[in-house]
Amino acid sequence: GENVEQHPSTLSVQEGDSAVIKCTYSDSASNYFPWYKQELGKRPQLIIDIRSNVGEKKDQRIAVTLNKTAKHFSLHITETQPEDSAVYFCAARRNTGNQFYFGTGTSLTVIP
């Protein structure tokens, strides 16, 4: 099956700095990679996603990059703000068997 590893597990940055979270996956058949943000006590919410036919996608301060050869994808948050503080999960969908796997999460703290 698929194995999604996520690093780091915790990340603290100063407000205004950038934050980068990385995920690796094992199954080359995986073709869809979403990122979710989960604030404390709340539900996960999709913030950005990327498909395997694209190398990079941006949405304002958030970007995701995908390296299919190396089987890793990363979330980049620029100009971080205190409201970016949350747990971020990456995920990978394996097309074969239609399976969905999450990373273990990164707790991001943005220090004002």
Note the residues at the interface with other proteins (CB under 8 A): 31-32, 42-46, 49, 51, 89, 93, 97-105
Q: Which is nearer to other proteins, 54 or 111 (CB)?
A: 54
Query: What minimum distance in Å lies between the beta carbon of 16 and other proteins?
Result: 29
Rank residues 32 and 76 by Cβ distance to other proteins and give the closer one: 32
Closest to other proteins by CB, 14 or 53: 53
Q: Token digits for 108?
A: 């991001």
CB of 6 to other proteins, least distance (A): 9
In the complex, least distance from residue 23 CB atom to other proteins, rounded to whole angstroms:
13
Q: Nearest 5°: CA angle at 13, between 44 and 9?
A: 50
Name beta bridge partners: 18. Answer: none
Rounded to whole angstroms, how far apart are CA atoms 2 and 59? 27
Least distance between other proteins and beta carbon 7 (Å): 14
Give the number of C-alpha atoms closer than 13 A to the C-alpha of residue 38, restricted to the C-beta side.
Answer: 16
Q: What three-state secondary structure class fits 82?
A: helix
